Amino acid sequence: MYSIPSAGSGPYRIDIPDALAPLAEFLAQQVGCERVQIESCERLSGGAIQENWLLKARLSSGSWQAERRWVLRTDAPSSVAVSMDRAQEFAVLQAVHQAGVKAPEPLWLCRDTQVIGRDFFVMQALGGTASGHRLATDPALEPTRAALCRELGESLALLHRITPEHPALDFLPAAAADPVQASIDQYRSYLDALPGSHPVIEWGLRWCELNRPAPVPSRLIHRDYRTGNYMVDRGRLAGVLDWEFTGWGDPREDLGWFTARCWRFARPDRLAGGVGELGDFLDGYAAVSGYRPGAEELRFWQLMAHLRWAVVALQQAQRHLTGQQTSLELALTGRMVPELEHEILILSGATS
C-alpha cells in the first residue's frame, strides 16, 4: 500500500555531462575495462517512486570494443516510507534472480553519493514492452499467449518458493500472524484519514474480514505482480519489474492481484492479467508450486486487490485535490473509484 509522494524540489538529473562523467568512471571500474562512454541516457516512462534510466554505453580496452544496454535505478525526488531502499531492492533482485525468477539481472550497487548524488544500482536492460494496453491487444501475441501465461505462472511460483529463512533477506519485516486482517486494518486506517465516506469500500472490508481464509505459511511475494510490471519480448516473458514492495506475506495475494479485473486493461474477458486464459496461468503456477487455488479462493483475493487499489486511488486523487502533487494522472486515477467499487460489490455478492 502506498500513495504517490510530493514532487519535492526536483530530480538530480543524471543525463548531463557533470553526472555522466563520474558514472562512466564507476561503470568502467565495475566492468574492468579502460573506458566506458555513455552514448545515451534516457529517462524511462513511469517511476513516480523510483527513476529508471536506460544507458547505452560503449566499452573499450585497447582495440577491443563492445556495446551494452543497462538500466540504472535510483530514487525519485521523494521516496515512499514503505518502499525499500535501493540496496535492499538490489538484494531482493539478487535473491529472486538466483531462484530462477524471470527478472533483470542485477549487476552493480553504488552507495557512494559522489557518483550521481543518490544511491543507485545497475541491472541488465530487457528487450520488449511492458505496455499493458499493447500486451492485451496486440494481435501478434495471439500464437504465444498460452505459453506466456504459463511462464508468468511458473515465474511467480518460483518466487513463492523463497521462504523467510533466506539468509540474504533478513532485513525484510516478518509477516503478520494474520496477514489478511493486518491488511484490512491498514486499509481502514488509510480510509479513515481521507475526507468523506466510502460505504462500498467499508462493505468490502467487512466482507473480507468475515470471510477471510486461514493463513498459510509466509513466502516472498512481489505485491505488484501484474500486467504493466513485466516485459514481454517476441511473445516470451523477458522479466518482471518493480520489486520495491516485495516482502513476506500470503502468496495468494499475488495471485489475486495478477488476475484482478482492474489490471486486465483493454481485455477484461482475459482473466490472466488481460493477456490470456486463467487456466494457462494457473497451470504454470501449479506445475512449479503444486498448488492451484479454487474459484472462490481466488475471488476473495481479487476482492482484496480491488480494495487495495480503490484506497490507493482515493489517496492519489486526494494528493491532487489538495495541491500536494498536481497531476492529471493522479486526478484520473481518482475517477476509477466507482468502477472499482462496482467490482467490489460484484465480488462480494452484493450485486450481480
Do 141 and 120 lie in one domain? The reply is no
pLDDT of residue 82 exceeding 60, the answer is no
pLDDT band at 350 (very low <50, low <70, confident <90, very high): confident
Do 81 and 143 lie in one domain? The reply is no
- Measuring CA to CA, how many Å separate 163 from each of 131, 158, 239? 31, 11, 21
Do 165 and 204 lie in one domain? The reply is yes
Residue 77, Cβ neighbours under 10 Å: how many?
15
State the residue range of the domain holding 146. 132-347
Would residue 6 count as lying in a domain? Answer: no
pLDDT of residue 92: 97
Would residue 352 count as lying in a domain? Answer: no
pLDDT band at 326 (very low <50, low <70, confident <90, very high): confident
Most confident option among 24-28, 241-245, 331-335? 24-28
**Measuring CA to CA, which residue among 308, 316, 319 is closest to residue 335?**
316
Ranges 6-10, 75-79, 88-92, 122-126: which has the least confidence: 6-10
pLDDT of residue 5: 33
Contact 292, 251 (CB under 8 A): no
Would residue 325 count as lying in a domain? Answer: yes
Do 267 and 292 lie in one domain? The reply is yes
Q: What are phi and psi of 294, to 5 degrees?
A: -80, 170
Do 150 and 289 lie in one domain? The reply is yes
Q: DSSP letter at 171? A: T
Would residue 248 count as lying in a domain? Answer: yes
Do 47 and 165 lie in one domain? The reply is no
Do 114 and 141 lie in one domain? The reply is no
Do 234 and 309 lie in one domain? The reply is yes
Q: What is the pLDDT of residues 100-144, one digit of tens each?
A: 999 999 999 999 999 998 899 999 999 999 999 999 999 999 999
User: Is 310 exposed, middle or buried, given 0-12, 13-18 or 19+ CB atoms closer than 10 A?
Assistant: buried
CATH classification at residue 150:
3.90.1200.10
pLDDT of residue 79: 44
**What is the spatial distance between Cα 306 and Cα 93, in angstroms, rounded to a whole number?**
27
Q: What is the pLDDT of residues 182-214, one digit of tens each?
A: 999 999 999 999 999 999 999 999 999 999 999
Q: What is the pLDDT of residues 234-282, one digit of tens each?
A: 999 999 999 989 999 999 999 999 999 999 999 999 999 999 999 999 9
Three cell numbers written together for 166? 533466506
Average pLDDT of the residues of the chain: 91
What 27-35 contacts at long range (C-beta under 8 Å, 24+ apart), as own/partner pairs, is 27/55, 27/57, 27/70, 27/108, 27/122, 28/59, 30/107, 30/108, 30/122, 31/59, 33/59, 33/60, 33/61, 33/64, 34/60, 34/61, 34/62, 35/59, 35/60, 35/61
Three cell numbers written together for 196? 468523506
pLDDT of residue 10: 40
Question: Alpha helices, DSSP H only, in 160-233?
Answer: 179-192, 199-211
**What is the spatial distance between Cα 180 and Cα 332, in angstroms, rounded to a whole number?**
29
pLDDT of residue 77: 58
Query: Rounded to the nearest 10 degrees, what angle do helices 145-159 and 252-259 cross at?
Result: 150
**What is the spatial distance between Cα 282 and Cα 289, in angstroms, rounded to a whole number?**
10
pLDDT band at 46 (very low <50, low <70, confident <90, very high): low
pLDDT of residue 7: 34
Three-state SS at 12: coil
Q: What is the pLDDT of residues 224-243, one digit of tens each?
A: 999 999 999 999 999 999 99
pLDDT of residue 9 exceeding 70, the answer is no
Would residue 8 count as lying in a domain? Answer: no
pLDDT of residue 327: 79
pLDDT of residue 30: 97
Q: What is the pLDDT of residues 304-325, one digit of tens each?
A: 999 999 999 999 888 877 888 7
pLDDT of residue 297 exceeding 90, the answer is yes
Q: Which residues contact residue 65 at a Cβ distance below 8 angstroms, ignoring those fewer than 6 apart?
A: 58, 59
Would residue 59 count as lying in a domain? Answer: yes
Per the DSSP assignment, residues forming a β-bridge with 35 are 60
pLDDT of residue 80: 47
Do 278 and 249 lie in one domain? The reply is yes
pTM for this prediction: 0.91
Tally of domains in the chain: 2
Would residue 4 count as lying in a domain? Answer: no
Do 61 and 174 lie in one domain? The reply is no
Do 166 and 208 lie in one domain? The reply is yes
pLDDT of residue 204: 98
pLDDT of residue 159: 98
Do 141 and 264 lie in one domain? The reply is yes
Q: Report the Cα–Cα distance between both ends of the chain, in Å, rounded.
A: 28
pLDDT band at 2 (very low <50, low <70, confident <90, very high): very low
pLDDT of residue 352: 64
Q: What is the percent of the chain with per-residue pLDDT over 70, rounded to a whole number?
A: 93
- Among 79, 100, 124, the domain-final residue is 124
CATH classification at residue 83:
3.30.200.20
Contact 88, 67 (CB under 8 A): no
pLDDT of residue 3: 32
